[in-house]
Amino acid sequence: MATAMEESHAVVEHGDAAHAGPEFIFGPGGWVGLAMFVFLVILIWKGVHKIIAGGLDKKIAEIRSNLDEAKQLRAEADALREEYAAKIAGAEKDAEAMLENAKAEADGIIAKAKKDTTAAVARREKMAAEKIAAAERAAVDSLRAKAAEASTAAAAALIADRHDAAADSALADKVIADI
């Protein structure tokens, strides 16, 4: 048994020696390495690295362009924000001025309304007083007319009772003589 082990040990040592020599270069790993080297040489010879670098440069340029555009848009947005902030401040001032004007106008309208109301009340009081005075005059005139009618009727009744035909003739003669 010792010999079999010695033989296998010798084979293993011989196998290692076989890989360390020229067989390693033309072994499976060597062929893969050689194929990879040839592939890389072809890629470099055909300019694939330039195409890749050009694509990357193009992408970098696009990104820079996007960044520049974003900076410009941000600057425009800041300018618009400042403009609208100024407009809002101006609008607030205008609103305050309009509110003050409205208050002043309302105070003026209220004062005018009070003045007009006072004048209207005074006119109505005067008209009422004039109507009352007119009604009093009408009542007095009506009473006078009724009193005159009553006194005329009473006088006519008295005259009719106390005068006879002879008194009427004497009275008529006297009136004719006065004329």
Confidence of residue 22 (pLDDT cuts 50, 70, 90): low
pLDDT tens-digit readout, 125-166: 999 999 999 999 998 989 888 888 888 888 878 777 777 777
pTM: 0.36
pLDDT for 58 beyond 90: yes
Q: Smallest Cα–Cα separation from 171: which of 159, 158, 155?
A: 159
Using alpha carbons only, what angle is made at residue 133 by residues 130 and 138, rounded to the nearest 5 degrees?
A: 125
pLDDT for 88 beyond 70: yes
d(CA 127, CA 125): 5
Per-domain residue ranges of the chain: 30-150
pLDDT tens-digit readout, 62-84: 999 999 999 999 999 999 999 99
